[in-house]
Each structure stands twice: as structure tokens, then as C-alpha cells.
Amino acid sequence: MKILFLDQSGQIGGAELCLVDIARPFRDNCLICLFADGPFRKLLEEKKIPVRVLANRSIRVRKQSSLMQGIGSIGVFTPMVAKVAEIAWEYDLIYANTQKALVIGAIASLVARRPLVYHLHDILSAEHFSTANRRLAVTLANRFASLVIANSKATQTAFIEAGGRPELTEVVHNGFDPAIYHIQIQNSPQTKQHLGLERRFVVGHFSRLSPWKGQHILLEALTHCPDEVTAILVGDALFGEKQYVEQLHQKVVELGLSKRVQFFGFRGEVAPLMAVCDLIVHTSIAPEPFGRVIVEAMLCGRPVVAAAAGGALELIESGKTGWLVEPENIEELADAIAICYHNPMLAKNIAQQAQKQAIERFHLAAIEQKMTQLLRQVIDFH
């Protein structure tokens, strides 16, 4: 089974980390084509996964772009389609991992006469996408894709509500190797001391720094928490969001949190820093498609508080495997942090239960097996 994977980004996000896990079992018979160069190419090379960058300039169409802006990028799309179609003749299947990859992969699949699989990592709603982009994604998926893999039931539901064909969809959650996270836990006390965080109650936030990820909500909640509660923000701006990063730094000063907040920037491996946290929070103000960070925190044996929307609702049973709070509700978030701070044994017990469930539900080996079966079915059908 030879697979041609397509991804639009040179940056490393959740969709790209998921793609690494999906492609790894096929690395002797696959190629990942990127539409932009960047750290993601280097990561794939480190993992010994074949990769090729197809363009020296990025496709400047965003999730909120209008139809006219999309038409203006045809000059970039057209030669890319030709390249992908030519390469696709050597493969059994085209696998589009992002929306721009879907646009190019759909046309290339028609030219090369190869089946197309679309992995949907986004919630196709007005909060995330323009009307034109939602219609484009659904139309192309309905017309050209043999299979649409949704990373959560929330993502699947949004696709269908936007007009997507239900019979095309299968839900496959992200997979994780529990051993990676277990190893890091053993080193957490030394790491915490090295970072100057001993005797502090550490709340971790792991995400790219972006308004919709809601780091500002955590900063506001800290002002309602005991002084011993410290936050670490792990992540950086990826898609032109530098202004928001500056606003976060200003907010830290304005709220008098300079000694209680640390910015750690982007980290390729988050487990070592997750292991030093007493609590990990997820504060997205719009529904999260899946919530990769939530599962990673669970595997690290750390309690989690998450915004009750999107994929997070499928990952956490509030009060049993974590806590769910209303998105953008500062007081509710602060209260949940206080529960963990004042009741460490309760938090520990809930974290242990969550860890057990996460290993059972999201083990990489099981996800790989399911993915392989689905892709084989698509190829055999054609």
C-alpha cells in the first residue's frame, strides 16, 4: 500500500503531529508532500519519513478568506495540482491532511485516477471558517473523497451539518504512545526544581498562542487564585498572531502577574513540561476539534480542566476524569483550579482514572490498526 500524503503547512500543529503518527507505519512506502517549508519538514526527516516540499512560497488563503481571495490564489494552486498529479501516478492513494491539501488533492485525484482520503482536523463552523471555505471543503469532499476521517464526533457532526455526506465519514481519534509520557513523569521533580518552580502550584497551558485558544482567560483566572498558583504558557504564535503574544505579555504586567507567569515558547516535546504541572488547563473560546493536549495531559497523569465544547466533551467526564467549565467563564475556571489546589488527593485520583481511560481509548497501536484497515478498504474498493 503506497500512500501520497499532502499537508499545506511547514509549521507543526496538531494536524501535523497526527500525520507523523499516521505516516510512520508506511514510511517505506509513502511520501509526504508539503506546500511550504519549515520545522515540520525537519521533524519528518528526523523521523525518517520521506518528505518533499513542493513550493517556495506559501498559499496565502486563510480559513476566513473570501471567494475572491481564493480565486486570486489560482496561480499558485494550478502548478501545485500538476506536480501532485504527476507524483500520484506512483501511489495507490492520495491522503489530504488539511483543507488546502484537499483542494489540490481533489483535482489531482481526478487527473491521476487515484482514490482520495480527506482527514478533517477542523470544525467546519462560522467560528473557524468563512462561508466560502466551508462550502468549498464540503463540495470537494462530497464529490471527490472516498473517505472523510473526522478526528472527533464533534468534527464529524459539523461536517454533516455543513452539508457533508454522512456515509463518507469515519471517526478516528488521534493516537498516542503511552510510554513516551510515562518516562517523563519519573523525571518531573528534578525538572521542576531546575525551572525554579518548586513549592509552586503549577498550572500549564499547552497550545499555540492565539486569541481563540484563550490564554488571556487563564491570566484573568489567576487573579482569583492564591499567590502560590503559577502558570506556564507553552507554545508560540504560528499564523501571524504575534500581536496577540505582545498583548499577553502586556496583560501579565497589567495584572501584576510577572512573578507568576512564564512563557516557554514552542516545544517539540511537551511531556517533560507537562510532567512538572500540578494541573493542565484548556481554555479555547471556540469549540476544539479534538483536544490533543487534553489526552497528552491525561497520559502524563495530570488533572485537566477544559472548556466544555467540541471534542473536549468526548474526552472528559466532568468530576470523574477531569473538569469541564463553560468557555470564557473566568470565575468557573478559577474555581476549578482552586478545587485542585485545595484537594490534591482528589485531583490525583481523578488524574489516575483519566490516565487509565486514555491508555485504553487512544493507544497508538489500536489507532494505527484502525487507520490501516480503513485505507486498505478504500484501495481495495477502487
Q: How far is CA 3 from CA 85, 90, 103, 133, 379, in A?
A: 13, 9, 18, 26, 10
- Kindly report the length of the chain: 382
Are 87 and 184 contained in the same domain?
A: no
Query: Residue 67 has what pLDDT?
Result: 41
Average pLDDT over residues 26-51: 95
CA distance 346 to 170: 36
- Count the Cβ atoms, other than its own, within 10 Å of residue 382: 11
Q: How confident is the model at residue 56 (pLDDT cuts 50, 70, 90)?
A: low
Predicted confidence at residue 238, as pLDDT, reads 74
pLDDT tens across 108-138, in order?
999 999 999 999 999 998 877 888 889 999 9
Q: Are 36 and 53 in contact (CB under 8 A)?
A: yes
| 220 and 121 in a common domain | no
- Give 263-275 pLDDT, tens digit per residue: 998 887 888 899 8
pTM across the whole model: 0.89
Residue 271's φ and ψ, nearest 5 degrees, are -55, -40
pLDDT of residue 4: 98
Q: Is 251 exposed, middle or buried (0-12, 13-18, 19+ CB in 10 A)?
A: middle
Considering the domain architecture, whether residues 169 and 201 belong to the same structural domain is answered as no
**Shared domain check, 231 and 329:** yes
Do 152 and 191 have their domain in common? Answer: no
> What integer is the mean pLDDT of 343-353?
96
Q: What is the pLDDT of residue 30?
A: 97
Q: Which residues of 54-67 are buried (b: 16+ CB within 10 A; e: fewer)?
A: bbeebbebeeebee
Helices (H), the chain: 14-23, 39-46, 67-71, 74-88, 99-112, 131-144, 153-161, 178-185, 188-194, 215-222, 242-254, 271-274, 292-299, 312-315, 330-342, 344-362, 364-381
Looking at per-residue pLDDT, the higher value among 259 and 68 belongs to: 259
Are 53 and 110 found together in one domain?
A: yes
Nearest of 381, 189, 209, 192 to residue 284 by alpha carbon: 209
How is the beta sheet containing 279-282 ordered, strand by strand?
261-265, 229-234, 201-206, 279-282, 304-307, 323-325
Report the distance separating Cα 136 and Cα 139, nearest Å: 5
Task: Give residue 347's pLDDT band: very low, low, confident or very high (50, 70, 90).
Answer: very high
Specify whether 198 is located in the same domain as 171. no
Number of domains in the chain: 2
Residue 204 grid cell: 500549564
- Same domain for 286 and 274: yes
Among 207, 184, 150, 152, which Cα is nearest to 299's? 184
Per residue in 355-365, pLDDT (tens digit) is: 999 999 999 99
* Predicted local confidence at residue 272, as pLDDT: 87
Domain check: are 264 and 131 in the same one? no
The whole-number average pLDDT for the span 230-238 is 91
Task: State residue 70's pLDDT score.
Answer: 47
pLDDT at 187: 66
Q: What integer best gives the mean pLDDT of the chain?
A: 91
pLDDT band at 186 (very low <50, low <70, confident <90, very high): low
The 10s digit of each residue's pLDDT in 369-379 is: 999 999 999 99
Note the maximum CA span of the chain: 62
CA–CA gap between residue 375 and residue 358 (Å, rounded): 24
The pLDDT-based confidence of 381 (bands split at 50, 70, 90) is: confident
pLDDT tens track for 59-113: 555 555 444 444 445 556 788 899 999 999 999 999 999 999 999 999 999 999 9
How far is Cα 116 from Cα 132, in angstroms, rounded to an integer? 22
State mean pLDDT over 297-318: 96
Provide the pLDDT for residue 277: 94
**What is residue 76's predicted lDDT score, i.e. its pLDDT?**
66
State yes or no: pLDDT of 158 exceeds 70.
Answer: yes
Cβ-Cβ contacts under 8 Å for 233 (sequence gap 6 or more): 205, 209, 215, 218, 248, 261, 262, 263, 264
Type of residue numbered 282 = H
pLDDT band at 382 (very low <50, low <70, confident <90, very high): confident
Mean pLDDT value of segment 15-26: 95
Q: What DSSP letter does each residue of 285-346 carry, written as one string?
A: SS-BSS-HHHHHHHHTT--EEEESSBTHHHH--BTTTBEEE-TT-HHHHHHHHHHHHH-HHH
* From 160-169, 186-195, 272-281, 363-372, the region with the lowest mean pLDDT: 186-195
For residue 190, the enclosing domain spans 178-362
pLDDT for residue 199 is more than 70: yes
Looking at 53-62, 96-105, 156-165, 284-293, which range is the least confident one?
Answer: 53-62
Query: Are 140 and 23 part of one and the same domain?
Result: yes
Claim to verify: residue 255 and residue 210 sit in the same structural domain = yes
Q: Identify whether residues 310 and 199 lie together within a single domain.
A: yes
- φ and ψ at 143, to 5 degrees? -85, -40
The CATH number of whichever domain residue 319 belongs to comes to 3.40.50.2000
